[in-house]
Structure 1
C-alpha cells in the first residue's frame, strides 16, 4: 500500500516529536530484539506517561482514561496505521521517524557465526593451531582486531605467513616483516601481528607457565626484565634479530673447538652480540666443563686483571639477562657445559637468579644461605637496607629467610676474592 503524500505529516503528529522519543525507543527495542517473530506480536508497555498513553489511544483506539500500563497487539497497531493512511506498519513508521531498525538478535547470531568461522580455520602450524584453541587466544585476537572478524581473519593470515618462515637463521625482524608482510614495520613492538606472533611463541615455549612460576617474586625489581628486552629474547629464540647489537653478552676465556676463530684474546674480556650468536656458527668446547656465571661486569674485570689467561670460563649476565645473554647461556648448556651462577645477595639478585637457574638448569655458585651468612660476618657493619618483602630462592628454601633476618644486601663485588679463588684455572685457557 502506498501512503499518500500527507502521511508523513500525520505520522509526525501522531508518533513523532521529542515528547514521544522514549516511547519510540521502547517500541524499537522490541523489533531489535525479536524482529518480525510471529510469536512476539504482543507488547506490554508499563510506566507510560499521560502524553504517551494519549498518543497510543489516538492510534489504536484505547480508552481515553489514563492508565500507565497497556497491552498492545502489533497486528492491530499495523492495521490502525494503515486505516489512518499513516504507514503500512508500526515497524515502517518507526524507521521513517528515527531511521532503520536492526534485528540485534539476528546480528549477534551472524557475528557469532563469523567469529566461529575465524577460529575454526585450520592453521598449518601446529603450535599456532594449538594456541588458537585457548581462551586467551580468543580474547587477544578480538582485541587486536578491534572486535572485527574480517580484521581478525587478515591478522591470522599474516601470523600464519610469519610462522611458515620460522625458525629463522639470524634474520632481522624488519627483513622478516618486509619479506613476508610487505611492510618492514609490521612486526614492530605494539603492532597487532607482532603481538599475536609473540603470544604464540610464548605459548610454544611454555613461557606462560614460567611466568606463573615467577609470580611469587614480588619485589621492587619485579619489572627488571623490561618488556622490550623480553620481546627481543622471544624473537631471538625463533632465530629473529631485534636490536641485535644491543646489550651484547660479556665473557672471559670461553673455549671453542680448535680451528674456530677465537672470540677474544686469551685473558681478555670479550663481547658477543645477539647478531653474532645467531649468525655465526660457534662450536663450543665446553662438554663436561664448568662454566661460571656472574651477575656483574666488575667480576669479569677483576678476574681478567688478577687471573688473565688462567681464569676459568666465565660469563656475565649484566643484571637480568637480555636476549644475547640468554642465547649464549642456552648454547653453552646445550653444548654440555655445567653452569654455576652467582649474583648479588639482594631481592633483585634473587629474582635474576631464579630466571637464570630456570633458563639453563644452572646451580648455585657460593650462593646459598650459608654463603650469605659467611658474607655478612665478614662485611663491614652497615644499616639494614633490605626491604620487608622476601623473594624465595628456587634453589635454597632458607636463603630468603636468612637474608630477611639479617636485613643486609651484599653486592657480588664484596665476595670477589672468594669468586676469584674458584676461577683460578689449573691450566691457562688456549682460546
Structure 2
C-alpha cells in the first residue's frame, strides 16, 4: 500500500502545475539538476518573475504576494511547508510528480567522462591507433564523430582497429578493404567516420616521424597529406591511375620498368601492387619539381643521365610512394625546384619528409642564377617561406624580388646529372 505522501494530489497541480507555471518549474528543475556543483545551495535567487509566478511562490512560501520582479526563496522552508500540508516530501518531489524525474546532470556528466576515459585507455588496440588516441586532436574528432557517446566511439574505434590491423596493404583498393573488413564497400569512403579515424591515425604517425627527422626550421608548417596520399602510404589504392610518377633511368632488379634513356611513367597501381626492387643502395637519385627539366635531361643525356625523378609540383600519391620506396631502398635523394615561395614550400616538404639534400638550391646558387635570367619586374612579395636548409635563401630572393623557374637553370643542373 502506498504512503499517502506518494499519491498524486490535485492541490499540488493547482499550486504549481499548469502551462502558466511551466517556465518557473523548468527554472526550479535546473537548480536540482545542478545539485553537486558549486553554488547549488539551499537558497535560490529567481529574477524576471511574472505575476502568476510571484503568486505561486507566495503560496509556496506562505508569504504575501510581492510586486518585485525577483525573489530569494528558502528551499528548506518550502520543503517543510509542502510536507506539513501533506502534498509531497519536498519541492524536488513536487517537481518530479508534476513533470517527471529530475536527472542529476553533474553525476551524469561525471559518469560520461569516466566512461570516455575508460574507453580511450582500453588496451589491445593497434599501436598506431592507440598513439593517436593520446592526442588532444583525437578527443575532439572522436567526440564529434560519436556525438560524445562513449559507446558509439568505442564501436567506431573497434572498426578502425580492424582496418588498421590490415595495413599496410599491398595494392588493395579502398572499396575492397572496406568490404572485406567492415562489410560495406563504401564504409571507408571520404567523410565516413571510420575512414576519418584511420586517416587521422596515419597522419599523426607521419607527423611524428617528420618531427623526429626535420631540420631546425622555426615555425615552417608541415604540409598535410591529402586523403588519397595517406591511403597510398598505407598501400591502399584510391584512383590509382591518376597523376603517375615521371622518372628516368631508375635502376631496378628483374624486368626493367623503364626504357633506358627515355622518360617513363609509373602508376600508383603498379608501384603498390608490384613494388619494384630498386637497385639504388647508396646511390644518388636526383629529384626535380618540373617535368620539363626531366625532359631536357633525357634529350641531352639520354642513358648517360643519373637516376632522375620528377615530383610534378607538390608530390601526390604516386610520387610520394616512389620516393618512399627509393628512400627505403637506400637512395641518397637530391632535390631542386623553382626559386619562388611555392617552390620553397615543396622543397621544405621533400627535405623534411625524405631527408633529401638540397641540390643547387642555396642562396649562393640563386645569386649566381639572377644575372642569367632575362630582366623582368619584381614578382616576389615579402617572403613567406624560410628554406629549412639555408636561412639566407629567402632573404636573398626577396632582396632581388625575382622568381626563377627551374627550367631557367637547367644548364647548371645538367652537369650534375651527367654520368662519368
State the alpha-carbon separation in 1 of the partners of residues 41 and 399 from structure 2: 75
State the alpha-carbon separation in 1 of the partners of residues 406 and 367 from structure 2: 14
For 1:76, the equivalent position in structure 2 comes to 80
For 1:339, the equivalent position in structure 2 comes to 333
Q: Tell me how far 1:123 sits from its aligned partner.
A: 2.7
Q: Tell me how far 1:198 sits from its aligned partner.
A: 1.6
CA deviations on 1:81-110 (whole Å, 9 max, x unpaired) are: 525xxx565334324544442221222122
Query: In terms of mean alpha carbon deviation, does 62-71 or 289-298 score higher?
Result: 62-71
For 2:245, the equivalent position in structure 1 comes to 249
User: In 2, are the aligned partners of 1:297 and 1:316 still within 8 Å (CA)?
Assistant: yes
Instruction: Give the direction of change, closer, same or farther, for the CA distance of 1:65–1:298 in structure 2 (3 Å limit).
Output: closer
CA deviations on 1:227-266 (whole Å, 9 max, x unpaired) are: 6x62222222222222222211100111123xx1111222
Q: How do 1:191-210 and structure 2 match up within 5 A?
A: 191-207=192-208, 210=211
User: In 1, are the aligned partners of 2:210 and 2:352 still within 8 Å (CA)?
Assistant: no
Q: Tell me how far 1:209 sits from its aligned partner.
A: 5.7
State the alpha-carbon separation in 1 of the partners of residues 6 and 368 from structure 2: 101
Q: How do 1:285-300 and structure 2 match up within 5 A?
A: 285-300=279-294
Query: In terms of mean alpha carbon deviation, does 107-116 or 149-158 score higher?
Result: 107-116
Q: How do 1:31-42 and structure 2 match up within 5 A?
A: 31-34=32-35, 42=42
SS of the residue 1:206 aligns to = helix
Q: Count residues with an aligned counterpart.
A: 410
State the alpha-carbon separation in 2 of the partners of residues 13 and 57 from structure 1: 14
Q: Answer yes or no: is 1:44 the counterpart of 2:44.
A: yes
CA deviations on 1:304-331 (whole Å, 9 max, x unpaired) are: 2222222221100000011211221122
Q: Of the candidates 404, 415, 428, which is equivalent to residue 409 of structure 2?
A: 415
Query: In terms of mean alpha carbon deviation, does 13-22 or 375-384 score higher?
Result: 13-22
Q: Answer yes or no: is 1:238 the counterpart of 2:234.
A: yes
User: Normalization by structure 1: what TM-score?
Assistant: 0.85
Q: Which runs of 5+ in 1 are unaligned?
A: 427-431
Q: Answer yes or no: is 1:311 the counterpart of 2:305.
A: yes
For 1:429, the equivalent position in structure 2 comes to none
SS of the residue 2:419 aligns to = coil
State the alpha-carbon separation in 1 of the partners of residues 288 and 9 from structure 2: 87
For 1:160, the equivalent position in structure 2 comes to 161
State the alpha-carbon separation in 2 of the partners of residues 192 and 81 from structure 1: 56
State the alpha-carbon separation in 2 of the partners of residues 186 and 33 from structure 1: 40
Query: In terms of mean alpha carbon deviation, does 336-345 or 315-324 score higher?
Result: 336-345
State the alpha-carbon separation in 2 of the partners of residues 412 and 82 from structure 1: 91
Q: Tell me how far 1:12 sits from its aligned partner.
A: 4.0
Instruction: Give the direction of change, closer, same or farther, for the CA distance of 1:390–1:54 in structure 2 (3 Å limit).
Output: closer
CA deviations on 1:364-391 (whole Å, 9 max, x unpaired) are: 2221111111111111110000121331
User: Normalization by structure 2: what TM-score?
Assistant: 0.88
User: In 1, are the aligned partners of 2:380 and 2:401 still within 8 Å (CA)?
Assistant: yes
User: In 2, are the aligned partners of 1:369 and 1:402 still within 8 Å (CA)?
Assistant: yes
Instruction: Give the direction of change, closer, same or farther, for the CA distance of 1:155–1:81 in structure 2 (3 Å limit).
Output: farther
User: In 2, are the aligned partners of 1:249 and 1:272 still within 8 Å (CA)?
Assistant: yes
SS of the residue 1:205 aligns to = helix
Q: Tell me how far 1:181 sits from its aligned partner.
A: 0.7
User: In 2, are the aligned partners of 1:43 and 1:71 still within 8 Å (CA)?
Assistant: yes
Root mean square deviation of aligned Cα: 2.9
Q: Which runs of 5+ in 2 are unaligned?
A: none
Q: Tell me how far 1:43 sits from its aligned partner.
A: 3.6
State the alpha-carbon separation in 2 of the partners of residues 300 and 351 from structure 1: 20
For 2:137, the equivalent position in structure 1 comes to 136
SS of the residue 1:107 aligns to = helix
Instruction: Give the direction of change, closer, same or farther, for the CA distance of 1:279–1:70 in structure 2 (3 Å limit).
Output: closer
User: In 1, are the aligned partners of 2:247 and 2:263 still within 8 Å (CA)?
Assistant: yes
State the alpha-carbon separation in 2 of the partners of residues 126 and 350 from structure 1: 34
Q: Of the candidates 363, 373, 380, which is equivalent to residue 367 of structure 2?
A: 373
Q: Tell me how far 1:70 sits from its aligned partner.
A: 3.3
State the alpha-carbon separation in 1 of the partners of residues 376 and 35 from structure 2: 75
Instruction: Give the direction of change, closer, same or farther, for the CA distance of 1:356–1:117 in structure 2 (3 Å limit).
Output: same
